[in-house]
Structure 1
Amino acid sequence: MTLIAIKDASLTRTEQLFAGLSFSIAKGDRLGLVAANGRGKSSLLRILAGEDDATTGTVTRLRGLVVAVAPQDPPERLQSLSFYDAVRDALAPEVAETESWRVDVLLDDLAVEESTRGRAVHGLSGGWQRTMLLARAAVIEPDLLLLDEPTNHLDIGRIGVLKTFLAALPRDCAVVTASHDRAFLDDVTNRTLFLRPQESADFALPYSRAVQALEERDAARERRFENDMRKVKALRQQAAKLKNIGINSGSDLLVVKTKQLSERADKLEERARPAHLERSAGTIRLTNSGSHAKALVTISDTAITTPDGRLLFRIGPSWIENGDRVVLLGANGTGKTRLVERLRAALTGSDPDMRGATSLKLGYSDQALSQLDAFATPWEAVKRLSNLPDHLTRSQLASAGVGIDAQTAPLTRLSGGQRARLAMLLLRLAQPNFYLLDEPTNHLDIEGQDMLESELIEHGAACLLVSHDRAFVQAVATRIWVITGKRLAEVDDPAPVFEKLMSN
């Protein structure tokens, strides 16, 4: 049964985000929504939820349809409420009075600890805020559940909880997931809608297989377009030849034939459509300034502890060499961030147990992109970190997806994707030879993730990465460090580690 149908919809803001969009959602559908940053995913979710209107087209909903959306960020009015009360707030007052037990059952299913339930929303981590927003949407038991980037800020364990939770939803409940997490989309969807300015593509396949189908379709369309254009060229050449013969001979028949050939060429050229070319949301480029030292980072046998001295884990003699791309994995709270913080402090100061080569030049980015907080505008950030003249500063920012109007505007106005691309630009301008990156794919769309993967691999960049993005880790890692049993161990294959972390 169809729950909602979109027909010939378009949406225009400052530019056209999509047009001619037609698709439907049936009971039990698990639809993945894929597009680059700023291309209309969140807007389409709001249209599906009835919170916004398309510029043109129709939206038809099943009578009595209950739709719930889990947005990316909590509204301001929830900030002072506790986690529990923010979820309970989603229920109608009369339901909340008699059926608040539904909140308790739901939070148990989502493995939310009692201590977390009483904390104020404004004091929660980004991951717990995402969990709260999911719970608010799910507690009203919708027919259609809309999720906007649900895995952002979640560690692998929480992603596993979310995957299990979605699998346990009633079979009739449809779910639309807008996400840049490729592995998660493969896990939880059976359809994929690629949202495009024209001719969006809908495949009854999970993400990875849908990408292959889309690439094959685009390639076939490009071949057809090139063939059509060759025919157009041949028709025009034939028409021009007949025109000259007709003029010289005075033949009316050849003049008519020439006109017919020209009209056929015009119609064929009008119908011909090139394959879709995705307009980039901004390029990501890194660099590797190089080092003659074989070991860029050397770590002695030492303990990683909490600020109050509690042992998190021990790390034996370890090193990171030129070209090593080391990914650090572990459950939430095991000490990944503490190791990153200590290593950063050691490489910018002194630590008897952690040393960097004298030629090491550090490039650092954390998951909150807090390194950007030191700058008022993107323009200031680039000018302070480089000697680029004004015209090159404008060009570099534009290539990173920061338009002219946004370059001198407050940094707070940038989207998450723009902030992530700006952070990568600043890293490149610093010309490091060792990258310390904490969740670098947060806020990056799939195009951006692909670019970052390529840059790290092609430039042979040495780095230590913390990431919960399974597809990204599988693509870039040359070494895997795992925190387990209060020890740091090195393993060859991250897949069993992911499986264990997601099942815990």
Structure 2
Amino acid sequence: MALISLKSLGVTMSAPLFSNLDLTVGGGDRLGIVAANGRGKSTLLKCLTGEMEPTSGDITRTRGLRVGHVEQSVPPALLGRTFHQVVADGLPAEQADSEMWRVDVVLDSLDVPEAMREREMQALSGGWQRLALIARVWVTDPDVLLLDEPTNHLDLARISQLESWLNALPREMPVVIASHDRAFLDATTNRTLFLRPEQSPVFALPYSRARQALDEVDASTARKFERDMKVAQQLRKQAAKLNNIGINSGSDLLTVKTKQLRERAEKLEEAAVSTHREKSAGAIRLANRGTHAKVLITLDDATVETPDGTLLFRTGKRHICQGDRIVLLGRNGVGKSRFVSLIRNAIVKPDTVQNVKVTPSTVLGHSDQALSGISGDDTPLAMVSRRYDVGEQRARALLAGAGVVIEMQEKRIGVLSGGQKARLMMLALRLANPNFYLLDEPTNHLDIDGQEALEEELLKHQASCVLASHDRSFIRATGNRFWLIEKRKLTEVDDPEEFFRTVAEGSN
């Protein structure tokens, strides 16, 4: 039974985000919503809750439907509340006294430690904040659950835990998930909506299989469009010939025939549907200046430590060679980001890091999780012009190509969206023209098109890199070597699948 029905739904901001959307959400649905950054996923979820009115069309909800909506970011008013208080505040006022036990049941189901429950939200990591928002909605016992980018800030263990939790929910309860995490969508959904400005296709398939079906539909549409355009062109040519003959002979019959051919051509052209072209959120391009050196970095049993000097692990004897795309595997806290910092310091400050030897021709391109390489107080135009010594006109063109539109180029970087910041960082990496990349969670804030573009660039340029990521699809697509950090040791493994399985089993 349909709990929510959409008929010809559309929302237009400066341009249509989506239109003519027909969709039902009912028992057993696990619906994934896929679209580029800023193309209407969060807007559609707000329409489903009733928080936002559509520009056109109708939404019908069953009477008394309780919709639980987990938004992307923490409302500022909750930052001073403890984890437990945030979840308890989700209970309706009439249940707060008699049903407080619900809070502990939900927190237990999400494996939230006792000590964590009394910490203020502002002192929690992004991952714990995300779980608090999920628990806050779940305690209300919703009939439909809407999740907006639920894997943001979660490590692999928490992502696996969330997958298990969602898959254990009663099957009759619909779940709608807006996400850029391809592996997560594959693990948790059975339907996929590709949100588009004109027609938004829906497939009764999880993401990867739905994407293949969509590509086939788009290719078929493109072929039919080309055929129709060729036929219309031929009809117009025939009409032009007959028209000339008709004029010369004075034949009324040929004049009528000419008109009929033109009308058929016009009908074909009007009915022809051109292929959907996804409007790019900004191009991602990398560079590789190359080097003659085979070995870029040698690790001679280097130690990776916490800031206070506590040993995290030892590297053993390792070489990072040209063409290596090394993915760091390991649970949160084992030292992946510290290892990335160690390598960076060894390149930026030669001879200051013990037991790490860097080939002098190595030129670094580095991006960390916080995108600290781009200052929030600077403007994109000033940063690119100054740092890379390009003129204003060239800087503006580069920024526009990367998805930072003219009106945003002289505003503070801090006000850019997450997707725009990520693409600006990728532009900065390209302009640095490195031959070695250090990337810590590079797919954070990138939509699926951006993730695929980054994967393609790393492979196309045969870029040498060390990567730390929680994105399983990205890891599988890019890595050709895998270093696992566990039990204070770094070991090389053949592929990441055993690690993924271990993490998933440990979260169940």
Q: How far has the Cα of 1:166 moved from its partner?
A: 0.3
Q: How far has the Cα of 1:377 moved from its partner?
A: 1.2
Q: 1:78 maps to which residue?
A: 78
Aligned equivalents of 2:427 and 2:12: distance in 1? 29
CA contact (8 A) 1:158 1:502 kept: no
Q: Deviations over 1:235-289 (max 9, x none)?
A: 1111111111111111111111111111111111110111111111100011111
Correspondence list, 1:201-350, <5 A: 201-349=201-349, 350=352
CA contact (8 A) 2:327 2:481 kept: yes
CA contact (8 A) 1:157 1:503 kept: no
Aligned equivalents of 2:107 and 2:336: distance in 1? 26
Q: How far has the Cα of 1:311 moved from its partner?
A: 2.5
Aligned equivalents of 1:374 and 1:2: distance in 2? 46
Correspondence list, 1:88-487, <5 A: 88-349=88-349, 350-373=352-375, 375-487=377-489
Aligned equivalents of 2:345 and 2:406: distance in 1? 36
1:150–1:128 Cα change, 3 Å: same
CA contact (8 A) 1:300 1:316 kept: yes
Q: 1:55 maps to which residue?
A: 55
Could you state the TM-score of these two structures normalised by the residue count of structure 2? 0.97
* Letter of the structure 2 residue corresponding to residue 202 of structure 1: V
Tell me, which stretches of 5 or more residues in structure 2 are unaligned? none
Aligned equivalents of 2:116 and 2:229: distance in 1? 62
CA contact (8 A) 2:19 2:197 kept: yes
* Letter of the structure 1 residue corresponding to residue 59 of structure 2: V
Q: 1:69 maps to which residue?
A: 69
CA contact (8 A) 1:377 1:407 kept: yes
Q: How far has the Cα of 1:309 moved from its partner?
A: 2.8
SS for the counterpart of 1:98 is: coil
Q: How far has the Cα of 1:13 moved from its partner?
A: 1.1
Q: How far has the Cα of 1:66 moved from its partner?
A: 0.7
**Which segment is superposed worse, 131-140 or 201-210?**
131-140
Percent identity between the two aligned chains? 55
Q: How far has the Cα of 1:28 moved from its partner?
A: 2.0
Aligned equivalents of 1:243 and 1:75: distance in 2? 69
Q: Deviations over 1:4-39 (max 9, x none)?
A: 011111111122211111111111200000000010
Aligned equivalents of 1:97 and 1:433: distance in 2? 62
**Which segment is superposed worse, 472-481 or 368-377?**
368-377
Q: 1:488 maps to which residue?
A: 490
CA contact (8 A) 2:376 2:413 kept: no
1:382–1:375 Cα change, 3 Å: farther
Tell me, which stretches of 5 or more residues in structure 1 are unaligned? none
* Letter of the structure 2 residue corresponding to residue 79 of structure 1: L
Aligned equivalents of 1:120 and 1:464: distance in 2? 35
Q: How far has the Cα of 1:360 moved from its partner?
A: 1.2
Aligned equivalents of 1:366 and 1:132: distance in 2? 25
CA contact (8 A) 1:385 1:430 kept: no
Q: How far has the Cα of 1:374 moved from its partner?
A: 5.8
Q: Deviations over 1:426-470 (max 9, x none)?
A: 111111111111100000000000110011111111111000101
**Which segment is superposed worse, 201-210 or 230-239?**
230-239
CA contact (8 A) 1:193 1:203 kept: yes
CA contact (8 A) 2:376 2:414 kept: no
Aligned equivalents of 1:375 and 1:440: distance in 2? 22
Q: 2:35 maps to which residue?
A: 35
SS for the counterpart of 1:284 is: coil
SS for the counterpart of 1:312 is: strand
Q: Deviations over 1:120-148 (max 9, x none)?
A: 11121111111111111211111111111
4+ runs of 1 displaced by more than 4 Å?
none
Aligned equivalents of 1:379 and 1:425: distance in 2? 12
Q: Deviations over 1:317-353 (max 9, x none)?
A: 1111111000001011111122122222222221121
Aligned equivalents of 1:312 and 1:102: distance in 2? 39
Aligned equivalents of 2:490 and 2:98: distance in 1? 49
* Letter of the structure 2 residue corresponding to residue 20 of structure 1: N
Q: How far has the Cα of 1:117 moved from its partner?
A: 1.4
Aligned equivalents of 2:98 and 2:171: distance in 1? 26
CA contact (8 A) 2:436 2:463 kept: yes
Aligned equivalents of 1:195 and 1:279: distance in 2? 12
Aligned equivalents of 2:444 and 2:155: distance in 1? 11
CA contact (8 A) 1:330 1:501 kept: no
CA contact (8 A) 2:27 2:174 kept: yes
SS for the counterpart of 1:44 is: helix
CA contact (8 A) 1:111 1:161 kept: no
CA RMSD of aligned residues (A): 1.1
Aligned equivalents of 1:305 and 1:388: distance in 2? 39
SS for the counterpart of 2:373 is: helix
